[in-house]
Amino acid sequence: MTHLNRSAQFMKPLSIILFLMALFIQPPAHLMAQDDSPVVPVNAPEENSANSPEDQQGKKASKPAIPRNFTEILETLGYIFVVPFLLASVIAVWFTIERLVVLRRGRVIPKHFVERFLQHLEIGQIDPLTASEHCQENGSPIADIFDHGVRKWGKSSVEVEQAIIDGGERQVGELRRHLRIINGVATVSPLMGLLGTVVGMIEAFNQIAGADAMGKAEQLAVGIATALLTTAAGLFIAIPSLIMYMYLSGKVDSLVMEMDRLAQNVVDYISAEALVSRKNNPVSDKSTPKSKSPAKSTS
């Protein structure tokens, strides 16, 4: 009996251990039933619903488009930037055309008037009053400079030259007139574009933060592209304006150098030193040939 009792006591815990092992090794019945059922993809309904035509049209409608044509660009910029850029363009074109007309060489330095006027001064066939009248009738910038010198007819070369310099400074100021406006347009336009870029970037990041769209690169790309349109518009106006300003400034410099050379000839013809030298060494008329003296007959 004692031996049987000991065996029963030993088998009791062993049976408990085997039972627990069977529980852990054998899966439950509901798991077995799930394994026997056909495998159905979890995301299949969602994918099907996402690929439906209605959802695709909704995505196309909700996806922001980058402005590509001129009308979309104007709508994106808005009146706050379109009006200043349009005004700057009109100003640049207007004053560029005006300066191109005013700075024509034939208007500033009329070739026929200059050649005839200097020729009459050289041969001494014109008096101060007539010379001043001719200059006033012509009305060109070089004629106005000549008129300032003629008013000092017979004075020293220093006085005549100073009078020509005074008249030349006034004419140079008139020739350079409105060039600062063109330069101002070329300087301010990129700054307006930069301001638009900063404003556009601020609006883009505000939209991203407000829409909870962190990580969506398309919204950031659209915002940056919209902001950079203002910079492109500013550069589109500034580059031609700067080119025309440099071209017109160079043209004014060349005209000033030419007028200075011609005015120096006037000083050499009408100053007191030139008149005294001409009186001592009279210039013979080049149009009439010199008569030859008859040869003496030899007896």
**Number of domains observed in the structure of the chain:** 1
Q: What is the DSSP string of 210-258?
A: HTT-TT-HHHHHHHHHHHHHHHHHHHHHHHHHHHHHHHHHHHHHHHHHH
Residue 60 lies in a domain: no
- The identity of residue 205, as a single letter, is F
pLDDT at 218: 65
Note whether residue 27 is domain-resident: no
Helix (H, G, I), strand (E, B) or coil at 203: helix
Tell me which of 51 and 228 has the higher pLDDT.
228
pTM for the full model?
0.67
Rounded Cα gap, residues 235 and 186, in angstroms: 8
Q: Which whole-number Å values give the CA distances from 192 to 61, 73, 118, 238, in the listed order?
A: 32, 16, 51, 10
- Give domain status of residue 7, yes or no: no
Q: Tell me: the pLDDT tens digits for 188-242?
A: 999 998 888 888 788 777 777 765 555 566 666 666 777 788 888 899 999 999 9
Return the higher-pLDDT residue of 5 and 135: 135
Q: For residue range 31-49, what is the model confidence (pLDDT) as tens digits?
A: 444 444 454 444 444 444 4
Does 168 reside within a domain?
yes
Other C-beta atoms closer than 10 Å to the C-beta of 81 total: 21
Query: Which domain covers residue 163, as residue numbers?
Result: 70-278
Our CA angle for 45, 47, 50, nearest 5°, is 110
Residue 48 belongs to some domain of the structure: no
Q: Residue 213 domain-assigned? A: yes
